[in-house]
Structure 1
Amino acid sequence: MFHRAGAGAEALTCGVKGSDVHLISEAATDPDQWSGDCAVYRHGSGDHGSGDLVVLPDGAALPVSLKVLEQDILTVSPIKDLAPGFRFAPIGLVDMFNSGAAVEGLTYHLLDGGKLVGDGGSAACRSEEAVGLVCMEARGCGRFGAYSPVRPRRCMLGSVEMEFSYDSSSGLVTLQLEEMPGERVHKIVVEL
């Protein structure tokens, strides 16, 4: 979180890199294979305060400029490369300041012809064209967001297919998590 207070009218400007986030590589599911690219969700910068999602390549800096009494909150998530053109990064509950804390579990599975690679094909996946499954456990309710450069084929909450929205210009995928399930976490599967 960045906050600027003071008497001057000039803006305070800096650049934020993914590597500026303490232990960001440990948040990647495969730290040794992580490219260093991140998805950055800026909470208050979009239209009507809805937030904005940008991809920050490894080593690139996102400019942040704040005037007196302005603030910005950034959620930074490592991007997982599943296959050429298929990438993913969970953001979490995008209407909360600490949105990433909602993501409690995250696994990625590659598919070949609708079957899990290395699992004998026991995936509960119906699509022959699917490339991968992203399985997440999320705690809390509200609007859950993630980054994907391609529109997901479908999103599941438990065994129920969910409606979701997709912004093709930013890659922001959002779905609404209603009441908490008995397991205390939402089990979300995104099929790419």
Structure 2
Amino acid sequence: MPHVPAIQTSHVAAVAFNSFFQGEIAAVDWDMFQSDHVTADFHAAARALGGCAVYVSDKPGEHDFKILKKLVLPDGSILRARYAGRPTRDCLFNDPVTDGKSLLKIWNMNKFSGVLGVFNCQGAGSWNTKIDVGDFKRDTRQDLPLSALPPVSGHISPIDIESLGDAASETWTGHCAVYAFNSGALYTLPKKSNLKVSLDVLKYEIFTVCPIGNYGENLRFSPIGLLDMYNSGGAVESLKHTNDSSGCSITIQARGYGLFGAYSSTKPRTCLVDMTEAAFMYIPDDGLLAVTLPGECSLKEIQVLY
């Protein structure tokens, strides 16, 4: 029912809670959506965390490619998370659809990072879309003024991601780089710390949570992934490092193209992409290192030299 704004919120919550059970025994299906719909960004972000196939029900010629390009690579592949997206522990006995105060948090994993989505799914009024009155069925949410509802606040933490330690190296001490997709902010947090999040109805934020490795006395590093994709960390395929008398070399294999980001505690000497020196950006205030991956969607090798 794409013409009913409020049903969009309960749909995302329903598929996430269904995945909590079905994800143990089956490949989950989070359903289709329309890329040119007013809630398309909300739905696309959820699919990026779902660990599911992605498909749309667009009419021919009616597509929003700005949305689709954040979800699907030009070769048709997706940066699919490893598991079925599930609600975090602190969401399991809350009601993110009707209680007016709870956010929905969904976690998943990539090879070298976790991903945590936060969604404001309030405003549906009921998990059930219909009320029977005799033989008459009336949709109870047609006129719900979602834009008039206040924002909902909550907190996210690296420990919201159940299997985060699986993505960490043996040098991990518990600190994480946390990249916020919409705001572009990069934070460093101990794994038990938290960040406050406040969202309006039908708004979301996606956090890529990367365990930080220690690669030398003053060098801490973690790859984030493709910064313009919802599931940024899904682009990272491998991570290696070497230390010798000339310094430290960190080698990443990544899939796709576009702006690739990482957390680095210090500015590198140089960056190479497929053995060719590449220009890079480094922001010392938050440690964001970014380099552009050119060309096609093939696997690329990034070397960061210190």
TM-score between the two structures when normalised by the length of structure 2: 0.52
Give the structure, 1 or 2, with the largest relative contact order (CA under 8 Å, sep 6 or more).
1
Deviation, 1:152, is: 0.9
Deviates more, 1:151-160 or 1:63-72: 63-72
Deviation, 1:34, is: 1.6
Alignment check: 8 A CA contact 1:104 1:138 kept: yes
Deviation, 1:70, is: 2.0
Q: Would you say 1:189 and 2:306 are equivalent positions?
A: no
Picking from 175, 178, 184, the partner of 2:294 is 178
Greater fraction of residues in helix: 2
**What is the match of residue 43 of structure 1?**
181
Picking from 256, 264, 267, the partner of 1:140 is 256
Instruction: Please give the alpha-carbon distance, in whole angstroms, between the structure 1 residues aligned to 2:275 and 2:150.
Output: 53
The residue correspondences of 1:83-102 to structure 2 (distance < 5 A) are 83-102=216-235
One-letter amino acid of the structure 1 residue matched with residue 163 of structure 2? L
The residue correspondences of 1:3-14 to structure 2 (distance < 5 A) are 3-5=119-121, 6=123, 7=146, 9-14=149-154
**What is the match of residue 62 of structure 1?**
195
Alignment check: 8 A CA contact 1:35 1:58 kept: no
Instruction: Please give the alpha-carbon distance, in whole angstroms, between the structure 2 residues aligned to 1:142 and 1:22.
Output: 29
**What is the match of residue 18 of structure 1?**
158
Instruction: Please give the alpha-carbon distance, in whole angstroms, between the structure 1 residues aligned to 2:149 and 2:214.
Output: 42
Residue aligned with 2:165, SS = helix
Residue aligned with 2:272, SS = strand
Aligned-residue Cα RMSD (Å) equals: 1.5
One-letter amino acid of the structure 2 residue matched with residue 73 of structure 1? I
- Larger Rg over CA atoms: 2
Instruction: Please give the alpha-carbon distance, in whole angstroms, between the structure 2 residues aligned to 1:138 and 1:186.
Output: 5
Q: What number of residue pairs does the alignment pair up? A: 166
Instruction: Please give the alpha-carbon distance, in whole angstroms, between the structure 2 residues aligned to 1:177 and 1:153.
Output: 18
Structure 1: runs of 5+ lacking an equivalent: 46-50, 115-129
Residue aligned with 1:38, SS = strand
Instruction: Please give the alpha-carbon distance, in whole angstroms, between the structure 2 residues aligned to 1:85 and 1:9.
Output: 47
Deviation, 1:67, is: 2.1
**What is the match of residue 236 of structure 2?**
103
Deviation, 1:84, is: 2.4
**What is the match of residue 139 of structure 2?**
none
Deviation, 1:66, is: 1.2
**What is the match of residue 121 of structure 1?**
none
Alignment check: 8 A CA contact 1:138 1:185 kept: yes
Deviation, 1:23, is: 1.2
Deviation string, structure 1 residues 29-68 (Cα, Å, up to 9, x no partner): 22xx4211110110111xxxxx111111231111112122
**What is the match of residue 283 of structure 2?**
167
**What is the match of residue 117 of structure 1?**
none
Greater fraction of residues in strand: 1
Instruction: Please give the alpha-carbon distance, in whole angstroms, between the structure 2 residues aligned to 1:143 and 1:60.
Output: 28
Residue aligned with 1:22, SS = coil
Picking from 204, 207, 210, the partner of 1:74 is 207
Deviation string, structure 1 residues 127-167 (Cα, Å, up to 9, x no partner): xxx2x211110000110000001111111112211100011
Instruction: Please give the alpha-carbon distance, in whole angstroms, between the structure 1 residues aligned to 2:281 and 2:303.
Output: 15
One-letter amino acid of the structure 2 residue matched with residue 14 of structure 1? G
